[in-house]
């Protein structure tokens, strides 16, 4: 249960501070811009890695948990528990963000959103559905492959959180203008559910399927190249 609570809290923090920074500061054209938003996501991972990493491994992402499952690092039962905790944590983070924005006289859910992902008109550069899917697969592959590499060697454990956080930052730098960067199904699903009836909810399947495909590919390649 400690692992599941940790995953809940970690995912809540990631969504609240990552998506919150994007929504509250005005997105790409806002105060912080792409780099600021990317750092918010990356630093959230760094902070949580050193707080809950020793308890749950700090997955806070169903795509990470899938890769760990495929690499024999967790059971199917644990995987289900992790994913449920992550989705609930993401919903809590989006709920808190929704409440904060609703209490402001200068912010609105309609104008600021909740940091949801999107393609087509919902993308800053107008990327297509296929383009968005491929982007999410590639970005997730790089992110998960890095995680598998840095966590497979105990000698790197002291810097693992920093490496993973920086990797999440750099995939966000290129991904934010393309899709808003998901690489995390829970992070994408929660804001979309709070924006029920909008384009975000209609498009969210891309940001669930893409990261899972990218994760599965990363786990498969890692086993072939790094273990065989």
pLDDT tens digits for range 48-83: 999 999 999 999 999 999 999 999 999 999 999 999
The CATH architecture of the domain made up of 2-226 is: Up-down Bundle (1.20)
Q: Is the pLDDT of residue 22 over 70?
A: yes
Q: How far is CA 114 from CA 59, 102, 146, 215, 224, in A?
A: 22, 11, 28, 25, 39
* pLDDT tens digit sequence for 90-111: 999 999 999 999 999 999 998 8
Q: Sign of dihedral through CA atoms 63, 65, 70, 71?
A: positive
Domain boundaries, the chain: 2-226
Q: How far apart are CA 64 and CA 49, in angstroms?
A: 13
> How would residue 227 be classed by pLDDT, with cut points 50, 70 and 90?
low
Q: How far apart are CA 156 and CA 152, in angstroms?
A: 8
* pLDDT tens digit sequence for 143-170: 999 999 998 887 777 898 999 999 999 9
Q: Closest by alpha carbon to 180, among 210, 144, 217, 146?
A: 210
Total Cβ atoms within 10 A of residue 174: 15
| Mean pLDDT rounded to a whole number for the chain | 95
Q: What is the pTM of this model?
A: 0.94
């Amino acid at each position: 249960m400690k692992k599941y609570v940790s995953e809940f809290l970690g995912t809540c923090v990631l969504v609240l501070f990552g998506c919150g920074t994007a929504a509250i500061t005005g997105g790409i054209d806002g105060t912080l811009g792409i780099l600021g938003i990317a750092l918010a996501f990356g630093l959230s991972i760094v902070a949580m890695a050193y707080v809950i990493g020793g308890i749950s491994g700090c997955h806070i992402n169903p795509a990470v948990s899938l890769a760990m499952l495929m690499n024999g690092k967790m059971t199917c039962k644990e995987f289900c528990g992790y994913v449920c905790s992550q989705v609930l944590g993401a919903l809590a983070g989006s709920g808190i963000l929704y409440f904060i924005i609703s209490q402001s006289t200068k912010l609105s859910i309609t104008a600021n959103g909740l940091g949801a992902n999107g393609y087509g008109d919902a993308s800053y550069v107008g990327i297509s559905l296929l383009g968005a899917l491929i982007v999410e697969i590639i970005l997730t592959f790089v992110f998960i492959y890095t995680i598998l590499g840095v966590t497979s060697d105990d000698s790197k454990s002291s810097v693992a959180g920093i490496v993973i956080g920086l990797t999440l930052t750099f995939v966000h730098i290129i991904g934010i203008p393309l899709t808003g960067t998901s690489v995390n199904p829970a992070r994408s699903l929660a804001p979309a559910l709070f924006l029920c009836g909008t384009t975000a909810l209609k498009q969210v399947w891309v940001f669930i399927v893409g990261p899972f495909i990218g994760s599965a590919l990363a786990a498969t390649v890692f086993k072939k190249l790094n273990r065989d």
